[in-house]
């Protein structure tokens, strides 16, 4: 499990106005672009998610579907829910997602980190994680954990996450 305390965000090179950003994505949203690209992406913890669109996004990364009603409850009980949007004035498109659970004071756990495969490999996942950690830090949470699938461990390691030695600290219990 993981400790993390350094947060820095990539400088933006292309932008939408601050007013427009707040109007469309809410306070504390974070806008960024990729080098030499016209597309603008925005991480937002306030913009309301369409649960069908979220379901479709999570299907694109091959995850098994979960009942929408249960997903809604899970989001309601999460302490941080972040959408990563491909900006469009009229139809912003959800291309990434992550959420955190926790006590809201001391600790948090990151879940459901996903970027639409069409947009993978372009730095979006990294920006999404930076945003998550910055927002957690803003509310005073410095100890963050997550459970990574084996094939994405190095995605997190590259960003400074520390792997706990196998079998030394983690415990799992499954009801079935
Ligand atoms: C994992 C995931 C979120 C990464 O998003 P992404 O936008 O493709 O990642 P980025 O482009 O920001 O990559 C950041 C860095 O991680 C590396 N990376 C990206 N995906 C990786 C992977 N699956 N395995 C190892 N390294 C990876 C990139 O090469 C890049 O390295 P660099 O900083 O040296 O250039 C995305 O691949 C995804 O949604 N996968 C399916 C869902 C999933 O497995 N989620 C994680 C659940 S634990």
**Secondary structure letter of residue 97 according to DSSP:** E
Across 146-163, average pLDDT = 92
At residue 104's C-alpha, the angle toward residues 102 and 109, to 5°, is 30
Give 133 Cα–ligand 1 centroid separation in angstroms: 16
For residue 163, is it left (φ>0), alpha (ψ between -120 and 50) or beta?
beta
Q: Is 156 a catalytic residue?
A: yes
Tens of pLDDT along 110-119?
999 999 999 9
Single pTM value for the model: 0.90
One of 131, 142, 156, 174 is an active-site residue; which one? 156
What is the residue with the minimal CA distance to atom 9 of ligand 1? 125
SS3 115: strand
Distance (angstroms) between ligand 1 centre and the Cα of 171 equals 26
79 lines ligand 1 (CB under 6 A): no
pLDDT digits (tens, 9 = 90+) for 21-59: 999 999 999 999 987 678 999 999 999 999 999 999 999
CATH architecture of 18-157: 3-Layer(aba) Sandwich (3.40)
Return the domain boundaries, the chain.
18-157
């Amino acid at each position: 499990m993981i400790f993390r305390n350094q947060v820095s965000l990539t400088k933006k090179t292309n932008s939408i106005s601050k007013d427009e950003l707040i109007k469309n994505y809410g306070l504390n949203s974070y806008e960024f672009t990729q080098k030499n690209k016209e597309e603008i992406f925005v991480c937002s913890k306030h913009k309301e998610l369409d649960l069908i669109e979220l379901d479709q996004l999570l299907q694109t990364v091959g995850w098994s579907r979960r009942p929408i009603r249960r997903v809604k409850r899970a989001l309601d009980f999460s302490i941080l829910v972040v959408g990563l949007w491909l900006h469009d004035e009229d139809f912003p498109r959800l291309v990434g997602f992550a959420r955190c659970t926790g006590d809201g004071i001391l600790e948090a756990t990151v879940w459901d980190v996903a970027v639409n495969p069409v947009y993978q490999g372009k730095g979006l996942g990294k920006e999404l994680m930076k945003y998550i950690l910055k927002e957690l830090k803003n509310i005073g949470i410095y100890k963050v954990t997550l459970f990574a699938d084996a094939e994405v461990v190095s995605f997190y390691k590259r960003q400074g996450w520390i792997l706990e030695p196998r079998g030394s600290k983690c415990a799992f219990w499954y009801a079935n």
